[in-house]
Chains A and B, each alone.
Chain A
Amino acid sequence: MDDLYRDEILEHYRNPHNFGVLESPTTSNEGANPLCGDRITLMLGINDDGTIQEVAFTGRGCAISQASASMLTDEIKGKSLDEISHMGSKDVLNNLGIEISPARMKCAMLSLETLRDATSDRVTWQAPDES
């Protein structure tokens, strides 16, 4: 079983990046999977030019959901809203780099869904929602 959860995922789970709160976020959104209890709160500090300057999240749940949030927040930091509008579930799965069964897909996609909800009034998401 040890090959399923790569060390990198476990490392992100144990010590998530960008974990914490922003004092005055431009936008903040909470996402949850009611079936499994995974939850995250995502906070973004967005510049006037539409760049994500700051990002932070808090949350609890399984390794897949929390590592996915840690990796996603790393990825979007410093990017423009236009750039992230092309991100989709493929990017999340690429980051995780492991096989995600259909039953666990909601865990993996929680952070992306929360990001989409948090920016829905600013971003027209381009990638088809395969999740």
Chain B
Amino acid sequence: MAVVRSLDPVAIRADFEIFERDFKGRRLAYLDSAATSLKPRVVAQAMSKYLNQYSANVHRGIYEIGEEATAAYEGSRSRIASFLGAKDAHEIVMVRNATEAINLVAYAWGRKNIKRADTIVLTEMEHHSNLIPWQMLAQEKDADLEFVPFDDDGRLLQDSYEVLLRTSPKLVAFTAVSNGIGTINPTKEMIRKAHDAGALVLIDAAQAVPHGPVNVQDLDCDFLVFSGHKTLGPPGSGALWARREILEEMPPFMGGGEMIREVKLRHSTFNEVPYKFEAGTPDVSAAIGLAAALDYLDNVGMEHVRAHEKDLVDYALAILPERVPTIRIHGPHTSDARAGIITFNLAEAHPHDVATLLDREAIAIRAGHHCTMPLHQRLGEESSARASFYIYTDRDDIDRLADALNKVERLFAPRPAASQQASD
């Protein structure tokens, strides 16, 4: 008998110590999970246990705690592999975050495989982390970058994508979910089209892995990256997944200890995959914390996470325009194509003023360009405000957001009509 379990954000909040803190007499309404998530207690507990009880280095110590540390660290690798549906834990390279993972691919795979006049296809909605490494590579190699545009509803133009694929790009790299406007891209279909055109595909899953089921074998991509700190885990944790045969052919990233097999004074041979990409002592505690976070998320159920956030998006898209008449919401206007990210501008109040005023009511939102300046140029906005959701977010948070935005709107309304209301 199938038990349909839904996600209870109030029960979940009990697992997060931050919600016990008093913020100006209120519970924190944390609406910036797209920047980084909050962390449940179990994450710090797992890290603390390593740091206090078996803080040996990994892959070195021939003694009890050294073996415990190695087992925990490699256990984290396996945990990440199973969370992503990878065939083989050796396809997981541990990195600090998605940014490092993309730089690793651009440096190690890109420098070997991208040549003069080769094309790399990106999109106009990429986070700077999936843009700058390719700009640097293209400059070095005199290669070309092409960009898939998006329409006024924040959706990538598939016709333009198909035209760009006719240039036979070597690589297509795009985000599964836009951190800027929340668009859920048709990732699987776009991967298939890229493969038909002979390109490899890198998926920036920094906003996808934390918020719904992601399976690398089902997606059939070639590289996938995510950050642990957006996935209930600690900063300094994250992973690159890549097909083993691709990793095998890639030269190393950084040089140093751990990544070698045999070292002579003038030349060396390198360790096997994935260790040849992991020079130096890794952030063992962060990896262990991430594994605890993934256990927590699996227990909640990733399909429930997505369903919960979809419900919140429906609610926000319904009530915000009603209660905040001057709001302009960017991105898809239906929840099926939108992750738990609501990016907006108010007619009169600048995003920074909005964020400052909301902070007075213990509501944390992001204001700025969210590391997506080209996307904002396309939107025609210098900056925007962004509210983003996670498993601890509920409708009450969105009600508080709507009420506070309504107050900001009245405060900033052009005079004289609303000047009396503004001081209530």
Q: Which residues of A contact B358 (CB under 8 A)?
A: 1
**Residues of B close to A7: CB separation below 8 A:** 423
Stretch at the interface among A61-69, A79-87, A88-96, A118-126: A61-69
Q: List 21 A-B contacts (CB under 8 A).
A: A1-B361, A1-B404, A1-B408, A2-B424, A4-B356, A5-B353, A5-B357, A7-B423, A10-B411, A14-B414, A14-B415, A36-B367, A36-B368, A37-B382, A37-B383, A38-B352, A61-B350, A61-B352, A62-B350, A63-B350, A64-B352
Check if A109 is an interface residue, CB within 8 A of chain B: no
**Segment 30-52 of A: residues with Cβ below 8 Å from B:** 35-38
In B318-362, which residues have CB < 8 Å from any A CB?
Answer: 349-353, 356-361
Classify chain A: how many residues form its interface, as a range: 10 to 19
Please give 17 more A-B residue pairs, beta carbons under 8 A apart, in addition to A2-B424, A7-B423. Answer: A1-B360, A1-B361, A2-B407, A5-B353, A10-B422, A14-B415, A36-B351, A36-B382, A37-B369, A37-B383, A61-B350, A62-B350, A62-B351, A63-B412, A64-B356, A104-B352, A104-B356
**What residue of chain A has the Cβ atom nearest to residue B381's Cβ?**
A37
Looking at the complex, which one of A4, A37, A107 makes contact with B360 (CB distance below 8 Å)? A4
Known A10-B412, A35-B368, A64-B352; contact A4-B382, beta-carbon cutoff 8 A: no
CB-CB under 8 A from A62, the residues of chain B are 350-353
Interface residues of A (CB under 8 A from B): 1-2, 4-5, 7, 10, 14, 35-38, 60-64, 101, 104, 107
Give the contacting residue for A1; candidates B350, B351, B382, B411; CB below 8 A: B411
A38 to B367, CA, bound (A): 12
A4–B357 contact, CB under 8 A? yes
List the A side residues contacting B368 at CB < 8 Å: 35-37
CA–CA, A61 and B349, complex, Å: 9
A38 to chain B, nearest CB (A): 8
Q: Which residues of B contact A10 (CB under 8 A)?
A: 411-412, 422
The minimal Cβ–Cβ distance linking B254 to chain A, given in whole angstroms, is 29
Q: Whose C-beta in chain B lies nearest to the C-beta of A37?
A: B382
Which A residues are in CB contact (< 8 Å) with B423? 2, 7
Residue of A nearest to B352 (CB): A62
CB distance from A60 to the nearest CB of B (A): 7
Q: Give the residues from 70 to 115 in chain B that come closer than 8 angstroms, CB to CB, to chain A.
A: none
Chain A, Cβ-Cβ closest to B414: A14
Q: 9 tightest A-B contacts by CB?
A: A37-B382, A62-B350, A62-B352, A1-B360, A1-B357, A37-B383, A63-B353, A62-B353, A36-B352
Cα distance A101–B350 when bound, in Å? 16
Q: List the B side residues contacting A36 at CB < 8 Å.
A: 351-352, 367-368, 382-383
Q: In the complex the two chains form, is B350's CB within 8 Å of A2's CB?
A: no
